[in-house]
Chain A
Amino acid sequence: QKEVEQNSGPLSVPEGAIASLNCTYSDRVSQSFFWYRQYSGKSPELIMSIYSNGDKEDGRFTAQLNKASQYVSLLIRDSQPSDSATYLCAVKRNSGNTPLVFGKGTRLSVIA
């Protein structure tokens, strides 16, 4: 079983729609959860972090965490073509300066 699992996609949504990206993780002691966006050939860029159960909103992005189900998701409202990228889910066992464990990423395509 992979430590962090994501559907590789591609996930295609029309412009203006809500894109829903999902991630499950296997290590129950994981403490910190992150969503990175990566454009082709570019650096992964942190867009959301979440540490406790529930929702966290930042602009058009909402991260949702359910530790009991070992599930974290990212919702992108009013999707734009510029949101087309690969979205990487990453998990850390401990807080602080410890390594990230990544999923393979989900490729999102927003169709104008």
Chain B
Amino acid sequence: EAGVTQFPSHSVIEKGQTVTLRCDPISGHDNLYWYRRVMGKEIKFLLHFVKESKQDESGMPNNRFLAERTGGTYSTLKVQPAELEDSGVYFCASSQDPGQEQQYFGPGTRLTVT
């Protein structure tokens, strides 16, 4: 069984540019989560999809971040325009439904905004 994959593994962009991160969850997993780890801080929740619907987006920092999950398969997280404080590692995780506790994490995308 393939795990959660994320693309790209690294991205370096300039302030003001746009970046799109992609996450492919484990096949059949309806739940998809985005998390972010800023340097020196803990991993923090951004949002949660159930299939194609946003279940909880309370962790999204501001309207420069847009997440989509068309068709309920892969998800994208777009940052537009990027700011310096957006730098960090963005993790995606997925889990089955109903009620599976374990979230399987991808390797993350390291985003550097210069």
Residues of A within 8 A of B (CB): 2, 4, 32, 34, 36, 41-46, 49, 88, 92, 95-105
Contacts and interface: CB of A to CB of B under 8 A. Distances in A.
B110 to A, nearest CB: 9
A64 B98 CA distance: 26
A45 B104 CA distance: 7
A36 B95 CA distance: 15
Interface residues of B, number: 31
A100 B103 contact: yes
A44 B3 CA distance: 12
B63 interface: no
Contact of B95 (A32, A97, A101): A97
Given A97-B50, A97-B100, A44 B33 contact: no
Contacts of A46: 102-104
Nearest to B50: A97
B31 interface: yes
A73 to B, nearest CB: 18
A105 B42 CA distance: 7
